[in-house]
Amino acid sequence: RQNPRVQIARLDVAESHDDQSIARSALLPQANLQASDAATRRNLEAFIGRRIPGFPQHSGPFQTFQVGPGFSAPVFDLTLWRKWQASGDAVAGSRAQEQTVREQTTLLVVSQYLGALRAAADVRAAQSRVDLAQALYDQAEELQKQGISTALDTLRANVELQNEKQRLITSQTAHTT
């Protein structure tokens, strides 16, 4: 739940859900309130086309103030309808992507855990092989002291012991890593 990729996927789902709400709002009736204020002054000579004796050249200024509501509703707009449908599909896609990220994160955690268990088992097995090689070396050394075996057998057992110790070190490093 606290993985950054999972949190990003969750935010993507929320964003696509908000986009769907915005697309749906374009299909709903819209209401607004407008207010306007204007000062108008007319040039009568330009309006009529010539100067009339006895009348001033300009009229006004006249103050106009309007306030009123406005309503609109799309009757049928296929593009808005398709945008709303597409946003619904985008929400489903974002949810599927979030589920995919969650599953990938879970898979990664489980594989890391299983890898750690395997590394621990490898260390135990390597330690067991070292113990066996040590016992064989000790036996070869005793047999050589009693004159039953040769120095070559003892040397081979010692080489095998050193190889197993090296494998143990490698397994321990992998487990630590």
Question: Are 137 and 160 a contacting pair, CB within 8 Å?
Answer: yes
Is 140 or 60 the better-scoring residue by pLDDT? Answer: 140
Segment 135-149 mean pLDDT: 93
Residue pLDDT, tens place only, 22-66: 888 888 888 889 998 988 888 877 777 777 777 777 777 888 889
Q: DSSP H helical segments within the chain, as ranges?
A: 4-25, 44-48, 78-145, 151-176
CB-CB contact of 105 with 9 (8 Å): no
Give mean pLDDT, residues 72-92.
88
Contacts of 70 (CB under 8 A, 6+ apart): 31, 32, 33, 34
Cβ–Cβ < 8 Å for 161, 137:
yes
When pLDDT is averaged across residues 153-169 and rounded to a whole number, the result is 96
What's the chain's length in residues?
177
According to the model, what pLDDT value does residue 117 have? Answer: 94
The tokens for 46 are: 């330009």
Q: Is 6 exposed, middle or buried (0-12, 13-18, 19+ CB in 10 A)?
A: middle
The pLDDT of residue 84 is 87
